[in-house]
């Protein structure tokens, strides 16, 4: 069992410490919710990741924060502990988080991306997943942060189950509640697609030491 007083600077992956830096990208595994599973089901890549959330690290002194967009807080800045232990989960059930880093040739984009992300804080969550500048969803937030240097790409979104070619009922119900058609084919981005970017290298899984 992990204790709440554990300092998250004490992290390990495969027996080695990870020194997180500003601009590192954190991907969180899918939750058990139907929406989280629906996101994962329609965004799979050949990298076989199962991520449904993403945020960006800002390191201030010895403290590690995550800049991200979430339904409850909108675009906000939270501690790493809060990112690993989402509010909707039990505090004793950490969610798997995997850290990635921009390759050396793209590192110069980070200072601008951090400032852009901080300028987007306070915006509401984008439940429609249709890109705009008034609200953000998680991968859209990270995309916008790095947009100036074209680090990530937008691609036509699909909400169809790859095995059946049909919309999952959860997506039909989700967009019906929003009063809109499923935005099939609209440009967007998602955590699994971002994790597959050739501009990133994987650092490994973040975990707390007991």
Q: How far apart are CA 119 and CA 208, in angstroms?
A: 30
The predicted model scores a pTM of 0.85
1: pLDDT confidence band, cut at 50, 70 and 90? very low
Residue 27's pLDDT is what?
Answer: 95
pLDDT tens digits, one per residue of 45-58 = 555 678 889 999 99
Architecture of domain 11-208: Alpha-Beta Complex (3.90)
For the chain, percent of residues with pLDDT exceeding 90: 63
Is the pLDDT at 202 greater than 90? The verdict is: yes
pLDDT at position 168, please? 85
**Residue 86 confidence (pLDDT):** 83
42 pLDDT more than 80? no
Kindly tell me the sign of the dihedral angle through the C-alpha atoms of 130, 136, 137, 142.
positive
Q: Determine the pLDDT at residue 123.
A: 97
CB 189 within 8 A of CB 139: yes
């Amino acid at each position: 069992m992990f204790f709440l007083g554990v300092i998250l600077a004490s992290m390990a992956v495969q027996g080695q410490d990870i020194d997180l830096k500003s601009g590192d990208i954190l991907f969180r595994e899918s939750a058990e919710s139907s929406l989280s599973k629906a996101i994962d089901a329609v965004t799979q890549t050949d990298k076989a990741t199962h991520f449904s959330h993403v945020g960006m690290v800002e390191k201030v002194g010895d403290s590690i924060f995550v800049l991200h967009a979430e339904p409850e807080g909108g675009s906000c800045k939270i501690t790493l502990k809060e990112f690993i232990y989402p509010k909707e989960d039990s505090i004793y059930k950490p969610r798997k988080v995997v850290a990635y880093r921009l390759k050396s040739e793209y590192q110069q984009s980070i200072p601008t991306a951090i400032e852009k992300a901080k300028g987007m804080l306070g915006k509401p969550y984008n439940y429609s997943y249709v890109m705009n500048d008034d609200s953000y969803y998680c991968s859209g937030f990270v995309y916008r942060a790095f947009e100036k240097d074209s680090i990530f790409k937008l691609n036509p979104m699909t909400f169809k189950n790859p095995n059946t070619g049909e919309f999952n009922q959860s997506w039909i119900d989700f967009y019906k509640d929003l009063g809109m058609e499923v935005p099939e084919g609209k440009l967007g981005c998602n955590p699994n697609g971002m994790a597959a970017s050739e501009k990133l290298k994987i650092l490994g899984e973040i975990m707390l030491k007991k």
